[in-house]
Amino acid sequence: MQFSLPKNTNISIHPIKSFTDNYIWMIKKNKDAVIIDPGDASPVLEILQKENIHLQTILITHKHADHIGGVKELIKAYPNVKICGPKNNFNFVCKEVDNGDLVVIDVLNISFRVIATPGHTLDHIVFADENHLFCGDTIFGCGCGRLFEGTFSQMHTSLNILSKLPRSIKIFCAHEYTKKNIEFALMIEKNNEALIARKKSLIGVDITLPSTLSEELKTNPFLRSKNLAQFKERRIRKDNF
């Protein structure tokens, strides 16, 4: 990894469910919060208001509507909220960040390193500290994002970069796809014991995230691809699964 990762203390992280399978992640410290990828404002506003938490910053991983659709309404409710995201033509004021940048969130006294992960979209970025990776639609539990804009090579490279983060890092994906992805992964590696164990461990579990990089390296067929050709073959197979 060419960048150092900041260490953040005294934060807690909570999933806010939206749409059918999206997670909007909330980072909380005392009574202040950072929200990642608010595709929908209403479930976010509900929890902020119920717990009397002030929204300080919104982080955006990429341009898709199910990640940014709630931003404008959140600005109305919290006019001073700061927004950080990739370079794009968003229809709201957004501080553009790029690979290697450090996002500092003053009020919470925390910061995150930005890592560019083109593939799912070309603008896709992720936010990491030593212990947490907010990876948007780049990695899913036992899977990875579809390629809407990037090439197989770009996504493969992005996954390789994330694979070099600390093994213990917790991975906060933006969708709940793990169980379905495990079915696909078992088709690829039916004798993978870690995968079989992961499937068993999730029986009856509603929220399967965060996972860890270590767990993904043992079970995720895309992080386990030996080379670009194998990654490409698996990604195409998954698109038709």
# residues contacting Zn ion (CB under 5 A): 2
Helix (H) or strand (E) holding 32: strand 32-36
Reading the block at residue 53, the tokens are: 């938490």
Residue with smaller CB distance to Zn ion, 29 or 175: 175
Residue 137 as a binder of Zn ion (CB under 5 A): the answer is yes
Residue 173: CB minimum distance to Zn ion, A: 11
Stretch that binds Zn ion, among 59-67, 74-82, 96-104, 111-119 (CB under 5 A): 59-67
Residue with smaller CB distance to Zn ion, 180 or 199: 180
Of the candidate residues 28, 64, 132, 234, the single one contacting Zn ion (CB under 5 A): 64
Stretch that binds Zn ion, among 41-49, 64-72, 207-215, 220-228 (CB under 5 A): 64-72
Residue 150: CB minimum distance to Zn ion, A: 12
The b-or-e profile of 11-31 (16+ CB within 10 A means b, else e) is bebeebebeeebbbbbbbbee
Stretch that binds Zn ion, among 57-65, 75-83, 111-119, 127-135 (CB under 5 A): 57-65
Residue 121, CB-side half-sphere exposure with 13 Å CA sphere: 17
d(CA 78, CA 93): 13
Q: Are 24 and 173 in contact (CB under 8 A)?
A: no
d(CA 77, CA 80): 9
Residue 137: CB minimum distance to Zn ion, A: 4
Residue 120: CB minimum distance to Zn ion, A: 6
Residue 166: CB minimum distance to Zn ion, A: 25
Helix (H) or strand (E) holding 134: strand 132-136
Would you tell me which residues interact with Zn ion (CB under 5 A)? Answer: 64, 137
